[in-house]
Amino acid sequence: MLPKSLRPLFPYLKKYRRGYAVGSLCVLLLNGIWVLFPQVIRRAVDDLHMGVTREKLWTYALLLLAVAGTKSIFQFLTRWIVIGISREIEFDLRNDLFRHLESLSYSYYQRTRTGDIMARATNDLNAVRMLLGPAIMYSANTIVFTAGALVFMFAISPKLTFYAFLPLPIVSIVIQYFGRQIHDRFEKIQAMFSDISARAQENFSGARVIRAYVQEDAEIAGFEKANQEYIARSLKLVRLMGMLWPTLETMLGLAIVLVLWLGGREVLHGRMTVGDFVAFNTYMVQLTWPVIALGWVINIFQRGTASMGRINEILAEKPEITDSEATATPEEIRGDIEFRGLNFAYNGTPVLHDVNLRIPAGSSLAVVGPTGSGKTTLVNLIPRIYDAAPESVLIDGKPIREFPLAFLRHNIGFVPQETFLFSETVRQNIAKPSQAFLSLCPDVLSQLPH
Ligand SMILES: Nc1ncnc2c1ncn2[C@@H]1O[C@H](COP(=O)(O)OP(=O)(O)O)[C@@H](O)[C@H]1O
Ligand SMILES: [Mg+2]
416, 376 in Cβ contact below 8 A? no
**CATH number, residue 265:** 1.20.1560.10
Q: Which ligand places an atom closest to the C-alpha of 416?
A: 2
**CATH number, residue 361:** 3.40.50.300
Q: If you average pLDDT over residues 414-428, what whole number do you get?
A: 80
Site to probe by mutation for ligand 1, drawn from 112, 371, 376 as the one with most ligand atoms within 8 Å of Cβ, is 376
The pLDDT tens digits for 304-358 are: 999 999 999 999 999 988 888 877 677 788 889 999 999 999 989 999 999 999 9
Can you tell me the distance from the alpha carbon of 107 to that of 377, in angstroms, rounded to the nearest whole number? 13
Which residues have CB under 6 Å of ligand 1? 110, 346, 351, 369, 371-377
Same domain, 162 and 204: yes
Same domain, 369 and 225: no
Q: If you average pLDDT over residues 241-270, what whole number do you get?
A: 93
The pLDDT tens digits for 150-208 are: 999 999 999 999 999 998 899 899 999 999 999 999 999 999 999 999 999 999 999 99
pTM of the model: 0.85
Question: Residue 427: inside a domain, yes or no?
Answer: yes
For ligand 1, atom 6: residue with the closest CA: 346
SS3 281: helix
Question: Residue 325: inside a domain, yes or no?
Answer: no
The residue segments making up the domain with residue 430 are: 423-450
Q: How many domains does the chain have?
A: 3
Handedness of CA 115, 118, 120, 123 (dihedral sign): negative
Last residue of a domain, one of 315, 347, 381: 315
Question: Residue 443: inside a domain, yes or no?
Answer: yes
Question: What's the CA dihedral at 285, 290, 293, 297 to 10 degrees?
Answer: -160
Same domain, 226 and 288: yes
391 pLDDT higher than 50: yes
For ligand 1, atom 21: residue with the closest CA: 376
Per-residue model confidence (pLDDT) at position 450: 53
The pLDDT tens digits for 43-71 are: 999 999 888 899 999 999 999 999 999 99
Question: Residue 328: inside a domain, yes or no?
Answer: no
C-alpha 424 chain-centroid distance:
28
Question: Residue 62: inside a domain, yes or no?
Answer: yes
Choice among 137-146, 273-282, 415-424 with the minimum mean pLDDT: 415-424
125, 311 in Cβ contact below 8 A? yes
Same domain, 342 and 236: no
Could you give the count of Cα atoms lying within 13 Å of 449 in the half-sphere of its Cβ?
Answer: 2
Same domain, 435 and 394: no
448 pLDDT higher than 80: no
Across the chain, mean pLDDT equals: 91
Same domain, 175 and 283: yes
The pLDDT tens digits for 352-390 are: 999 999 999 999 999 999 999 999 999 999 999 999 998
Same domain, 280 and 386: no
Same domain, 405 and 364: yes
210 pLDDT higher than 90: yes
246 CA distance to ligand 1 middle (Å): 58
For ligand 1, atom 16: residue with the closest CA: 374
Same domain, 362 and 443: no
For ligand 1, atom 9: residue with the closest CA: 377
Per-residue model confidence (pLDDT) at position 418: 77
Q: Which ligand places an atom closest to the C-alpha of 351?
A: 1
Question: Residue 127: inside a domain, yes or no?
Answer: yes
366 CA distance to ligand 1 middle (Å): 18
Same domain, 188 and 252: yes
Share of the chain above pLDDT 70, in %: 95
Per-residue model confidence (pLDDT) at position 436: 42
Can you tell me the distance from the alpha carbon of 29 to that of 157, in angstroms, rounded to the nearest whole number? 25
| Confidence grade of residue 430 (pLDDT, cut at 50, 70, 90) | confident
Question: Residue 417: inside a domain, yes or no?
Answer: no
Atom of ligand 1 nearest to the CA of 347: 4
Same domain, 306 and 159: yes
Per-residue model confidence (pLDDT) at position 434: 45
Same domain, 265 and 307: yes
The pLDDT tens digits for 229-249 are: 999 999 999 999 999 999 999
Question: Residue 321: inside a domain, yes or no?
Answer: no
Atom of ligand 1 nearest to the CA of 374: 17
| Confidence grade of residue 439 (pLDDT, cut at 50, 70, 90) | very low
138 pLDDT higher than 80: yes
Last residue of a domain, one of 315, 348, 369: 315
What is the edge-to-edge ordering of all strands in the sheet holding 393-395? 349-359, 337-346, 393-395, 398-399
CB contact set of 306 (below 8 Å; sequence gap of 6+): 127, 183, 186, 187, 190
Q: Which ligand places an atom closest to the C-alpha of 355?
A: 1
280, 153 in Cβ contact below 8 A? yes
